[in-house]
Amino acid sequence: MKEIDIEGRESRSRILVGETLANLSGYIPAKNVVIITDENVKALYGHAFPPFPVITIGMGEKIKTLETASDIFQQLLDMEAQRSTFLVGIGGGIVCDITGFIASTFLRGVGFGFVSSTLLSQVDASVGGKNGVNFKGYKNMVGTFNLPGFVICDMQLLKTLPSRDVLCGFAEIIKHAAIEDAVLFDYLEAHHEEALALDSGVIERLVHDSVTIKADVVSRDEKEKGERKKLNFGHTFGHAIEKTKGLPHGEAVSLGMVLAASLSVKKGLLSKDAADRITRLLELYRLPTRITWERSAIVDALKRDKKRKEESIQFVLLEDVGRSVIVDISIDELDRAMDAL
């Protein structure tokens, strides 16, 4: 087990990579604990939860709403939860986002921690303190920044995860390597077979390095004013593709990274060889790298992107594998570049 400590401005978070659900009791109070999970995770792992009341939510983005939050508040009141109540979210990014939001707002804030059960939530959702719910179809519209006390990343839980969800987690790991860590990128190339087979040692290293990269970037920029934007590599195109094509987030981000790397080549920042290496790595991890292009729909979605500042859009581009920059690109220039992509 490896521990990564994140010092937030207001609190501290311990990320426990390779710790197990079985040891959860060692990290939570002896009483006044409430567990929040979803139906899938409860069916698979409920037998291993410590003996506390459990609030169970449904699955999917449509459940990540204020209505679900309101339901949970009601159940907490019915249980006579208090300021001293400690909440534990056991599940993927959706359970963690909702649990963090509830814990940050119920009685103006109670203690909370996570057991992260998807690769995506281990490497992304549980680091950085963002939480929240969707509102009227807009993703993550309402929420707070607040770090969980701890996050247990239990590799054994990943064995039951559908493979499409596993691959989406790899997309975010590849993103972290591409923007910040050439050594991790080499490791991903060399160990793709073990990684895809969910070899515990290899996954532990990937989660550890990925969390470290995200934690470093976030600690330098906790409230997303500047450098944290680097974590959006592949996401500007990715969100547009996700919306127009209805692909899972990680697959859309994979395509977004290919496009952002091509744009980097087009701008003379990145070599063609380095861009090809990124495409090849995504292919090794069975992620999509080509789409049939509905250019106008994607450009429209890009123009509506919330990271747009007036007549330009902010993109994260690469100067090399492991080195990224944030660049403003005008809509005109983007239109022209899209012709060539």
Ligand X SMILES: NC(=O)c1ccc[n+]([C@@H]2O[C@H](COP(=O)([O-])OP(=O)(O)OC[C@H]3O[C@@H](n4cnc5c(N)ncnc54)[C@H](O)[C@@H]3O)[C@@H](O)[C@H]2O)c1
Both tokens assigned to 66: 């204020």
Phi/psi of residue 151, nearest 5 degrees = -135, 120
Instruction: Name residue 329's beta-bridge partners.
Output: 313
Instruction: Name residue 15's beta-bridge partners.
Output: 4, 151
Intra-chain end-to-end CA distance of the chain, in Å? 43
Q: Does 148 bind ligand X (CB under 6 A)?
A: no
Exactly one of 21, 35, 94, 110 binds ligand X (CB under 6 A); that residue is 94
Q: Which stretch binds ligand X (CB under 6 A): 17-25, 71-79, 127-135, 204-212?
A: 127-135
CB of 232 to ligand X, least distance (A): 11
CB of 41 to ligand X, least distance (A): 5
CB of 134 to ligand X, least distance (A): 8
Tracing tokens 């989406």 back to the chain, one arrives at 168
CB of 144 to ligand X, least distance (A): 11
Q: Does 95 bind ligand X (CB under 6 A)?
A: yes
Q: Which stretch binds ligand X (CB under 6 A): 8-16, 116-124, 314-322, 331-339?
A: 116-124
Q: Does 219 bind ligand X (CB under 6 A)?
A: no
Residues of 103-116 as b/e, b for ≥16 C-beta within 10 angstroms?
bbbbeeebbbbbbb
Calpha distance 252→226 (Å, rounded)? 24
Q: Does 115 bind ligand X (CB under 6 A)?
A: no
Nearer to ligand X, 280 or 304 (CB): 304
Closest by CA to 254, choosing from 193, 184, 172, is: 172
CB of 139 to ligand X, least distance (A): 6
Calpha distance 46→42 (Å, rounded)? 4
Q: Which stretch binds ligand X (CB under 6 A): 89-97, 101-109, 289-297, 323-331?
A: 89-97
Both tokens assigned to 284: 């090794």
Instruction: Name residue 313's beta-bridge partners.
Output: 308, 329
Nearer to ligand X, 64 or 229 (CB): 64
Tracing tokens 């390597």 back to the chain, one arrives at 177
Q: Does 13 bind ligand X (CB under 6 A)?
A: no
Closest by CA to 260, choosing from 296, 235, 231, is: 235
Q: Which stretch binds ligand X (CB under 6 A): 38-46, 106-114, 178-186, 316-324?
A: 38-46
Nearer to ligand X, 93 or 113 (CB): 93
Nearer to ligand X, 179 or 274 (CB): 179
Q: Which stretch binds ligand X (CB under 6 A): 33-41, 189-197, 268-276, 302-310?
A: 33-41
What distances in angstroms separate CA 113 from CA 62, 87, 174, 252, 333, one per listed residue?
23, 7, 26, 29, 45
Cα torsion 254, 256, 259, 264: sign: negative
Q: What is the radius of gyration, based on Cα positions, of the chain? A: 20
Calpha distance 119→92 (Å, rounded)? 8
Q: Does 271 bind ligand X (CB under 6 A)?
A: no
Q: Does 125 bind ligand X (CB under 6 A)?
A: yes
Nearer to ligand X, 64 or 243 (CB): 64
How many chain residues interact with ligand X (CB under 6 A)? 29
Q: Which stretch binds ligand X (CB under 6 A): 12-20, 35-43, 288-296, 319-327?
A: 35-43
Exactly one of 32, 68, 85, 121 binds ligand X (CB under 6 A); that residue is 121
Question: 54-57 and 308-309: which strand pairing?
Answer: unpaired
List contacts with ligand X (CB under 6 A): 38, 40-41, 44, 59, 61, 64, 91-95, 97, 117-118, 120-121, 124-125, 128, 130-131, 139-140, 157, 160-161, 165, 168
